[in-house]
């Protein structure tokens, strides 16, 4: 995570009066906290059984409360702050609507890491990227000649924060949908970016038919290569 922190983002952290942050890893959590004398984690706002929309609203309120007090705030999220981070977009929208200056800085997303780790060039065949739940709820024609990236496959249909071990229970529903367009033997990849510079990414290659029995990590992303193409470069 530290190597992905841009100089621009680090400057924003240093210039802020308070750093609010959300991390998915304990070690990364401690490292981010060490970057600022007034750092506060947003992780306690995630509570098992609570509706995600309620959690997101609480995160937005936690960001805006100090802003309204005239305090300079930097909110840091793991990955890219604008990719599947609804509270970041909403906090910026509301801050601007209330007359406060707010901006988002670019960063490295899990998809960027996926392209690098799997050796995938999204421009070669084209690429479609969806939240897995939205992909199922709003059926659309699939171009199987292009790459398909499905986010948050471990939380399909989950409107509430779930406990450890409950992830992926609705994965068979996604597999059933994909089997309408892809052959059962089509190789797919469950991917999770490396959380630390010394770690390797988690790359699990399996057939589409076997995916229904898989237990994805909470942060796993599903990569479905084009029909007739390999699922990417081998793991390092």
Residues carrying an active site annotation: 52, 56, 78
Question: At what angle are helices 86-97 and 52-68 packed, to 10 degrees?
Answer: 40
Rg (CA), the chain: 19
How far apart (Å, rounded) are the C-alpha atoms in residues 224 and 158?
22
Six token digits for residue 209: 């038919």
Six token digits for residue 101: 């200056």
How far apart (Å, rounded) are the C-alpha atoms in residues 132 and 151?
5
- Residue 206: CA count within 13 A, CB half-sphere: 16
Residue whose structure tokens are 């471990």? 154
How far is Cα of residue 178 from the mean position of the Cα atoms in its chain? 21
Six token digits for residue 19: 């750093």
Give yes or no for a contact between 78 and 194, defined as CB atoms under 8 angstroms apart: no
Residue whose structure tokens are 């939240």? 131
Pairing of strands 73-77, 18-22: parallel
Pairing of strands 39-41, 73-77: unpaired
């Amino acid at each position: 995570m530290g190597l992905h922190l841009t100089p621009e983002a680090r400057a924003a952290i240093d210039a802020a009066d308070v750093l609010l942050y959300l991390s998915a890893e304990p070690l990364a959590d401690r490292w981010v906290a060490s970057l600022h004398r007034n750092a506060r984690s947003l992780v306690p706002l995630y509570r098992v059984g609570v509706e995600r929309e309620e959690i997101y609203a609480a995160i937005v309120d936690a960001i805006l409360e100090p802003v309204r007090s005239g305090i300079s705030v930097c909110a840091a999220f793991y990955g890219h702050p604008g990719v599947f981070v609804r509270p970041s977009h909403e906090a910026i929208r509301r801050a601007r609507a209330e007359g406060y200056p707010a901006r988002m800085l670019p960063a490295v997303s899990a998809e960027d890491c996926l392209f690098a780790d799997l050796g995938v060039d999204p421009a070669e065949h084209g690429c479609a990227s969806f939240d897995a739940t939205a992909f199922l709820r709003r059926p659309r024609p699939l171009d199987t000649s292009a790459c398909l990236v499905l986010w948050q496959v471990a939380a399909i249909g989950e409107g509430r924060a779930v406990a450890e071990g409950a992830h992926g229970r609705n994965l068979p529903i996604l597999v059933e949908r994909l089997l309408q367009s892809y052959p059962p033997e089509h190789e797919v990849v469950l991917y999770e970016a490396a959380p630390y510079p010394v770690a390797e990414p988690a790359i699990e290659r399996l057939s589409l038919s076997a995916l229904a029995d898989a237990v994805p990590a909470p942060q796993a992303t599903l990569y479905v290569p084009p029909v007739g193409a390999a699922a990417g470069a081998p793991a390092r």
